[in-house]
Structure 1
């Protein structure tokens, strides 16, 4: 590899001659491991011009380094790190130093330590990964995604790949959402009412920032999506949790508020589905309070047991529902591509906020997704996933029944997970830790709940990342470990 001259700079405060400084920079680069054996040094002419010194100064420094066996000269080819140059130590030297800044005082607002749990990045090394929201390589259409990505790299799409959209989005992707995704949920919208986001979580953040202030009240479901709790906490609004039941959020329990955050089609994490009558009642309750509703419609595509209910947004006649959709759950989480649908006045502010923070999702990702969707690959993948997940769910429900485990909520339409209840007194964090050693990965339920003393005996089992063949043995290990707690 060629070492760039830009990696060298002279310190005006340094001691010693210019030649000695250059020697020291090269030697330190080799000893730190930044320059490795065989790397080519900048030519003496190029490095001299970059540092603003005479060429002879660089040449003399290189000559001394050759004599010390740090460098070797290869005729007209130039100078290279010697094949016998000193090796860097196995452990890099400790170059850390204490900051002079008191960060406990300097940080104005903290974002760490929230409700959102961390997940093991190596989840796929577990034999029984009942983990939610990860991509199963067996289900992803990698070949067609790659073909669409290559097409999006072509000269015809050069503008879509390279342009700065600023506050706009790829028109092809917006057109697909308007003509295909939203009509499936009973939603009719105009381009000015849709905004692309970096996934559903980014959409939630944009909505919270635009709609909430320190004086406003937000109602959230209990239990609910942990990242939503963190997002609303960052907005510093007053957050009021309302317990859900088997039909989701009960409208008659919703107190006076400004914004209601809900997952009516597939409640997170219980997977309960709000019936149409309750949806109408929730809209009426919001109308009475003049409140807005943020509807997170995640996983609606995974309705393989029966057709999904109409989106809450499709029943909205007042324009008070803001709809969130996402392709990240149905394709792969690393895609980070979702969208907001709402009245123009709201979308205008969300668009301006997005532009000031991240401008827009990458153009190449947008165009690749547009091709994947419009060419029919997305629908084909959804059908394949629905068939496979339906079979996995059947196997899981049978295994749960065989081992007398208790389902707390599984959803009437499908999805990719089942909400479980362990016996009273069981701490599922301990259960998860004990199962970890047996290569079983589950998700303890405490972080889904609000309040200082959340229930400890709930957990979530997902079947999106585990094959049907491994589900029965994984469930057996869960039941066996539970019996010992």
Structure 2
């Protein structure tokens, strides 16, 4: 049987190149059983004319399909569906409509989905003024060199790294670079057995909490804090104590006597951007020694100190192995990479490594080796330098626009970072403000998510400058000021 060319059409919303879309059409037809072994495909000339594409595009698509054994070429006779082409398994599907009779709320207890969540705009790039935090500006990223490193990691030389199973271990090349180049920037000395790769900082916090906490232990966390941390701690069933932060971050003297683990963002407090002074850091470590507790340091913006040199990390001041350091490449590279690391005493890392192995073994080998090349070849440092320059310009533009519009800054960070922590007039709930601004093309981050449940209307909000162009900043800030002024509150 000859498959007519009219069987194929290019959907306007289909993604990929023309060649990829033609390959997909043919492959789907074979997998779905519409084209069977021995069926003849339209000639490349006839299909190209029908689809309105070049003949070479169709020929290349057919060639790739032959390489994957979907098609076979029979000299001058043309292309046919291969006798050994991949196909879906054939089985009889049960007739009638399917129903879901399980009471999943009872079965699962909704222990995880029942926790507080705050929706974020997935289509944030379509907004004119995206003051969104943590996303990547494609104009600043080094696409070409990342692509080159990814291709190098795909080569035969690194095949074992890409395709192999490390079991509970990590790519030694990436671990070595983190130990020799990344950690010394924060004053940290560590050997490979004290480092564990994670799927971002969130995964690192989860591993730390699972290893260190249980229903009989007490954790202290900052208020406000990173919202994901509360969900992580809830899963451990530990007792959680909220410690209100001030202009210098977490005050050590406010910690309860019976605390077992303290979670802190000492370098860039999330979300206020406060930096804990060295004297306070030393006091925190002294209390940890006196009261025998452990500190988990989330250094999530460790490369974003561009106004002046970063203060030493808590881990660099630690002389008793009481600090567990969490780092991430989400802010300096891109969040979709999902690559972070834990640094701690060897017994802790061994326990966290064993726990990780029961869940995900290790981050994908190809991702690890690509990142290792990107770092080792100097592209990472060049990218960070470019980010510093761009963020410095954007921060200045934000500062000028905020001052001009008379908006109130609650915290902006002395060392840099990528956001401002803002405060609206009393009586304004920034969740409502965010909804009104979104209708005008402005995205802000309401502050309620960062606070404990006891908070009512929350006047705080976060404005990030990592994903918005300089030219857009003044007009976006002006729109925020207009919406606040429209409330009549001062």
Tell me if structure 2 keeps the 8 A contact 1:197–1:361.
Answer: yes
Residue equivalent to 2:269: 267
Q: Is 1:40 matched up with 2:28?
A: no
Deviations 1:197-224 (CA, angstroms, capped at 9, x unpaired): 0001000000000000011110000000
* Contiguous gaps of at least 5 residues in structure 2: 1-27, 40-76, 83-94
Residue equivalent to 1:140: 141
Residue equivalent to 1:258: 260
Tell me if structure 2 keeps the 8 A contact 1:116–1:230.
Answer: no
Aligned mates of 2:80, 2:376 — CA distance in 1:
53
Residue equivalent to 1:128: 129
CA gap 1:76/1:384 in 2 versus in 1, 3 angstroms: closer
Q: Report the RMSD for the aligned CA atoms in angstroms.
A: 2.2
CA gap 1:34/1:430 in 2 versus in 1, 3 angstroms: farther
Deviations 1:128-155 (CA, angstroms, capped at 9, x unpaired): 0000000100110000000000000111
Tell me if structure 1 keeps the 8 A contact 2:168–2:357.
Answer: yes
Tell me if structure 2 keeps the 8 A contact 1:216–1:237.
Answer: yes
Aligned mates of 1:250, 1:78 — CA distance in 2:
71
Q: Is 1:155 matched up with 2:156?
A: yes
Give 1:75 shift: 12
Equivalences, count: 411
Tell me if structure 2 keeps the 8 A contact 1:330–1:382.
Answer: yes
Residue equivalent to 1:280: 282
Q: Is 1:101 matched up with 2:102?
A: yes
Residue equivalent to 1:13: none
Tell me if structure 2 keeps the 8 A contact 1:257–1:291.
Answer: yes
Residue equivalent to 1:71: none
Deviations 1:357-387 (CA, angstroms, capped at 9, x unpaired): 0000000000000000000000000000000
Residue equivalent to 1:14: none
* Correspondence for 1:374 among 376, 381, 394: 376
CA gap 1:175/1:243 in 2 versus in 1, 3 angstroms: same
CA gap 1:473/1:164 in 2 versus in 1, 3 angstroms: same
Residue equivalent to 1:237: 238
CA gap 1:78/1:221 in 2 versus in 1, 3 angstroms: closer
Residue equivalent to 1:425: 427
Tell me if structure 2 keeps the 8 A contact 1:449–1:455.
Answer: no
Tell me if structure 2 keeps the 8 A contact 1:115–1:229.
Answer: no
Aligned mates of 1:37, 1:111 — CA distance in 2:
37
Aligned mates of 2:143, 2:127 — CA distance in 1:
23
Residue equivalent to 2:58: none
Aligned mates of 1:376, 1:185 — CA distance in 2:
18
Residue equivalent to 2:196: 195
1:466-477 matches, within 5 Å, as: 466-477=468-479
Give 1:108 shift: 4.4
1:355-434 matches, within 5 Å, as: 355-434=357-436
Give 1:95 shift: 7.9
SS at match of 2:303: helix
Tell me if structure 2 keeps the 8 A contact 1:185–1:311.
Answer: yes
Aligned mates of 1:76, 1:135 — CA distance in 2:
44
CA gap 1:236/1:157 in 2 versus in 1, 3 angstroms: same
* Correspondence for 1:309 among 301, 308, 311: 311
Aligned mates of 1:95, 1:484 — CA distance in 2:
56
Report the TM-score, using the length of structure 1 for normalisation. Answer: 0.82
Give 1:451 shift: 2.7
Deviations 1:181-204 (CA, angstroms, capped at 9, x unpaired): 111111101111000000010000
Aligned mates of 2:296, 2:415 — CA distance in 1:
21
CA gap 1:102/1:247 in 2 versus in 1, 3 angstroms: same
Deviations 1:13-64 (CA, angstroms, capped at 9, x unpaired): xxxxxxxxxxxxxxxxxxxx988999412469xxxxxxxxxxxxxxxxxxxx
CA gap 1:78/1:380 in 2 versus in 1, 3 angstroms: closer
CA gap 1:75/1:422 in 2 versus in 1, 3 angstroms: closer
Aligned mates of 2:472, 2:226 — CA distance in 1:
27
Give 1:113 shift: 3.6
Aligned mates of 2:286, 2:78 — CA distance in 1:
84
Give 1:318 shift: 0.8
Give 1:453 shift: 2.4
